[in-house]
Amino acid sequence: MSHDPNCLFCKIVAGQIPSKKAYEDEDILAFHDIHPWAPVHVLIIPKRHITSMVDVGPDDAALLGKMMAVSPRLMKELGVTNGYRHVINTGRDGLQEVMHLHMHVMGGPRPWLKG
């Protein structure tokens, strides 16, 4: 499994930085965002270091599918009942702040939009 020793999310996967986990299996980790934009805001990340969507290839299809497929169950478990949003920022111009592929899943009662 690829790991970047300087990557914040790789350090979370390795247990070097604490997180409030929402889901974990052998391939992915979901944890609550420390600066949420919504009442429920989790990040779903691959445990293997992938810098961004630019680095995703055909061999990553099952992994990305798993990230998407776990989100409905996770949102239901976290009490989100009226819809949610998926966001994947890619690269600096795409507003990606941590250079480890991650998917934001946000839901809960509105208003929670940020300007």
Half-sphere exposure of 68 (CA within 13 A, CB side): 8
Write out the CATH class of domain 8-107: alpha beta
Q: What is the pLDDT of residue 21?
A: 98
Whole-angstrom distance, CA of residue 83 vs CA of residue 109: 9
The Cα 47–Cα 28 span in angstroms is: 5
Mean pLDDT of 59-67: 97
pLDDT at 41: 96
Q: What is the pLDDT of residue 36?
A: 93
Mean pLDDT of the chain: 93
Model confidence, pTM: 0.93
pLDDT in tens, 6-49: 999 999 999 999 999 999 999 999 999 999 999 999 999 999 99
What integer pLDDT is reported at residue 83 of this predicted model?
93
Q: Give the position of tokens 């934001």.
A: 104
* Residues designated as active site: 102
> Which tokens belong to 68?
């998407």
pLDDT at 115 over 60: no
Q: Is the pLDDT of residue 71 over 60?
A: yes
